[in-house]
Structure 1
Amino acid sequence: MSSCLGTQRIVTPATHGRGLAAFSSSLLPHGPVPRPSHRRSPEQEQRRTLRRPQVVALSSEVAVQQPSTSATSKTVPNSSVWEIDFCSRPLLDERGKKVWELLICDPERNFEYSEYFPNSKINSGELKRTIERILAQPGAERPEKARFFRSQMQTIITKALTDCQIKAVPSRRCFTVMSWIGERLESVYRLDPRYSDKAQSLFQLDLGPLEALPDALRGEQWAFVQLPLGTLLGMLRRVEEAEIFGGTFSLATSGLQDLPRDMLIPGVVVFSRRALPLAAWTNGLEIAAVKADVQRSCLVLETGVNQRWKYGSWKPSEESVGEAEGWELAKQGVSGVHFLAVQPDPDSEELTGLWMLRDCEPPSI
């Protein structure tokens, strides 16, 4: 596919150093975005590509420093979404067997539940009974769905959730429970007399092969862009209010509450004449991250737990390689936070989809 160098600029957020020219490339079947005849400032390009630059922080962004165990005030669920992890911990019981733990929370950590399980009770029946006990509390509300990121536990978790009339969703968008596990490693597990390095699970993510993108998810053009974090959070209010398709998450409960609001966040914007249905189809995916694969000269869309799709391509050149590497470096400078947006065309004021994403490895335990 041919590519066209544009005039947007991405500044490496870690240092706010010299700009890296972003580029617009064709997304699979169609031609490139026309090259502008003059250079615009970063502020002009921001307004040109993504509109409504109001600075509004998410209402859920309150630093959460709750320790490991469930506080009494947080044991009653009332959210439509849960995040679940059910796995062994680096703890050994008196028989030398691994201790397992169930963690359940909502994305804002207004609800938290933790319980240890012996190695002999790891099955869907035990998990179902525990969930039913949680939902039997006065005032408890049944969630519509529950996300989990361990594919190895899919059978047990899916059956238990299905039996409890909760939709099971394999997804790496479990940013809150992942952060909670990392928090517990330092504040709970390592302080437990049963802690043992020999009991580490050493969980590794097994990504699937790169697949061709379904026609319904194909855009026509795409571009690397950037937005200040405060502006991005303000635009995500439209997602929270269900005005546009998209997805967001709480920076506070993901351990990212200290990111400055003026930090530049890298992103990818996709342009399509069928932007509304494209955003609707995209919203049906559990999007985890977008990556720039320099070796394959393409964007890679990662969804679910381990699915990967060839999302866009560019003509290999020294300049395009440098720009793609710069975009990935920009993500590293903001702890993997980035975004995906869908618009009808580069000059449109309409935004039909916006997803805040994070490129991060699941916890190793």
Structure 2
Amino acid sequence: MDKRVYRNVDLLFVVFTFLLLAASLFILSTASINVDKADPMHYVKAQAVWIASGIVIAIVLASIDYQKWRHFRWWIYGLNLALLGAVILFGSSAKGATRWIPITSTITIQPSEFAKIFIILTLADFLAERQGKLNNFKDFIPPFLFVLIPMLLIFKQPDLGTTLVFAAIFIGMMFVAGANPYKFGGLLLGGVCIVAVALWLHFATDLPWWLHWAQGLPLPMQDYQLKRLTIFVNPAADTTGDGYHIIQSIWAIGSGGFWGKGYRMGTQGQLNFLPEHHTDFIFSVVGEEFGFIGTVTLLFIFLIFILRSVSIAMKARGPYGMLVGTGIISMFTFHILVNVGMTSGIMPVTGIPLPLISFGGSAMWSNMAAVGLLLSINLRSQRLMF
């Protein structure tokens, strides 16, 4: 790659990416200290390996012209479906879900994490060809079906959280691709209303006689998934079951106060009352041990990271780069909002990790691949004149 290309690099984006990676190791050094008694630093060392290898992935993808991925749209899409199908056929199960493919006796990969990157790359090309042709309801059908197939494979695992991430990516990219905002927005609003009514009918127990036929409406979801979607409204209704996670998380964040209890001085996290506090609920540890100041600082770093990502996408040299950037921004933003929301008790618990912070190899590689693609767009945002 021509060295002059590096003049375009967004240094602020790079700096804040490394701040998030450093924050991940620092927070994990307290969040996971009591998870593995035999090796208290196990998760920190493993995360360091994922981060180092993730940086290599980001550098490789940044060095490749992102436009080249357009030529392999159907190959990437096919690989995506093949990996997701392999999970159903050969995947290993844990905690009631089959989401991982074993590589060795100790290493597994989660294809649904990489599926987010694959769908962004392929859907961006699919929509770039249809810019200016997304004005009617029938125009929305082909891109919807394009995303629906991998979404259904992920939903079957079951993985409701990643399914919702796919929906967020699709919505963000459709609007930027030029979908009629009134018709597409109305369609989305109608869909939300239908889901809300379906949930109400499913849980309703005292409906009028003329609605008895719909009482207990069956839904294509596991009982625990449905419970998680509604328990956040009143977690006290099930303090030892599905509401336990939310209650412990709220206690952890609330007990941190303004300054926090101090590094490794928390109780909910250090005594393992708070479940999954090194993965999905790692933000709760930040709130408990570093307080309001710690959470605001972390959210500020995320804010700058997202704003620089938006700047990169807006400067892309063509619709494909802008759509890839939009998909990545939609993915990161949805992850952040939902993770912070669910740990704060204002959103359902959907098992969505905090990007670039939570422990996880597949998630870290996927996030760093997204960073690499953004840098690829950034580096090629201006033509070389001399």
User: How does the TM-score come out when normalised to structure 1?
Assistant: 0.26
**Quick check: which one's strand share is greater?**
1
**Quick check: which one's helix share is greater?**
2
Larger RCO (CA within 8 A; separation ≥ 6) = 2
User: How does the TM-score come out when normalised to structure 2?
Assistant: 0.25
